[in-house]
Chains A and B, each alone.
Chain A
Amino acid sequence: MPWLLFGIALIPVIAVVGVSFFVEDVFSGVENPFANHGNIFTITASTFLIFTALAGPELLIPDRVEGVLAVYASRPMRVSDYLGARAAALAIAAGGFLVVPQLVLYVGLASLDDDGWFSGLVSNASDLPKILLAAFFYLLAYGAPAFLVAMFAKRLGPAWGVYLAFMWLSSGFAVAITSATTGIWKYSALAALSINPDIVMDWIFGRTTVREGLSGADFGPMWSVGIILGIAVITWIIGLRKYRSLL
């Protein structure tokens, strides 16, 4: 399943680079509106959300249910080591899902550069830190809630369902409430958990894309950054407290 999702994540970027190669003359002298990192992030983020739903619970639940935590408890490691290693495992997978397609796009677009491949790499090098930063926020925004659910779920299936429902429904409700109300209700837009990293990513790449339904909320991207970081910190604290009694 992970490899299938990884393959799915790569399809759009390969398609974009391929199409750009064949229609190169159409966009001669202007920026290709399809072949940009923001678009690819928007597409691959959906796949990454599903992957996180599968991987987050898989990383935590079996250890707890099968009693393997007792083995970790007898080894020279702290609770933070264990949780940090699990988060790192998810981060590596996130690299595969979020960063590798972006690198393929980066190299692919460079190969189409009018001034040559190397020149293309150099001229677009400023995109690399932006890619890493955006991937970091997607990882936090999707991974922390997945871990939070997994810390309390006892079975994988329900954990997947709860996580996906939580992420999708929270965003759906936020969009619905924000669109239909005014005043203090606009703050419900902050509960759009699966949309917040999109807003941050747009900001990082300097895009002006208005997220559907949340335009009325009129929040700056820093609010989304704060929500993402806040949930991640809360998840970390809850994890330390919960696993302190287990490890």
Chain B
Amino acid sequence: MTSPSGRALISTSQLGHAYGDIVALHHLDFTVPNGRIGLVGANGAGKSTLIKVLLGILDPTEGSAQVLGIGVADDPIAVRARVGYMPEETCLPLAQTAADFTVYAAELAGIPTKAARQRASDVLTLVGLHEERFRYLGEFSTGMKQRAMLAQAIVHDPDLVFLDEPTAGLDPEGRTEMLSLIGRLGEFGINVLVSSHVLTDIETTCDWVIMLDGGRVLRSGPLTGITESDTVDVELLRDGGDGHDVIGALQRRGAEVEVRGSVLRVRSADDAFDLIRDALAETGAGEVPNDHRAGRCLRPGVQAARRSPPRPAGRHLRHRP
């Protein structure tokens, strides 16, 4: 749970944040160790807000948080001196070259110019942009921009880097490359907190996962404890009936299904996520409007399942541990 020095990488106590009347984070209590931490949840679950609170960009409206043993509210500058941040939205000055911007990003962290140039060169090589380093960022593809954003986040050799949806907008190949890069950060002693709404990405890169839903922590623990679970809860909000079609499809695949109101508890010796995906694809139960909460959770996974039956591109099911 803690680093070798005895400190947790991140810990929160009753942490909350609200945008006016809209509460984005509710009483978050968790502690995570060094390593690669996954922050998973649907869009609007509070992932980006949590990262901004941990960076000290947003003030917590209640509770407290510590990053690398430093109270975020007490000394946000000290926290920022030791972390990096790759935001979800693009953060690149389009009229600068990748090299110039990466050097500048290093200098902003207090690295002398000469050392910053060397580090920028090294980091751009690491992310695969060495050949492109003198091109303007405005000429970059989406994948190259993502890698440039990762480069600026790690150029000053932080102890911890926050990556907010680093694979957003990438094609499958770019996604794989980005996940590989994230996986390699540990080799350089950089701890990672990566947020994603795609559980598969977290599975690929992380060894600890925090699950957020509606601003609350559903679960925080080692990834192995989650992936080895044979039970998954799915909230079936609308399937045109009372769920019999989905239950039947699941049972035909050998799953035990327990109905708890609108929640189906699915238990299977096989991968329960795969069974649910196939059952939803068969019955069309996931075809719900996008503006519906479950729609955001279920529909992409079902569509992905139809395109590539052997393995979903991502798990978007609402998971209840």
Spell out A's residues near B (CB within 8 Å).
62-63, 66-78, 247
Contact = CB atoms under 8 A, between A and B. Distances in A.
Nearest to A69: B91
B94 A71 contact: no
Given A62-B95, A77-B77, A78-B77, A71 B108 contact: yes
B92 A76 contact: no
Given A76-B78, A76-B80, A70 B109 contact: no
B57 A66 contact: no
A74 B83 contact: yes
The dominant DSSP class at the A interface is loop
B90 interface: yes
A73 B57 contact: yes
A76 B81 contact: yes
A7 B114 CA distance: 32
A77 to B, nearest CB: 7
A70 B91 contact: yes
Interface size, B (range)? 20 to 34
B80 A67 contact: no
B108 A68 contact: no
Contacts of B105: 71, 75
Interface string B116-152: 0000000000000000000000000000000000001
A68 B85 CA distance: 12
Contact of B108 (A67, A75, A78): A75
B210 interface: no
B77 A67 contact: no
B94 A75 contact: no
Nearest to B161: A74
B91 A71 contact: yes
B74 interface: no
Q: Which of A73, A74, A76, A77 has the most CB of B within 10 A?
A: A74
A168 B80 CA distance: 43
Nearest to B79: A76
Contact of B93 (A68, A74, A75, A77): A68
B55 interface: yes
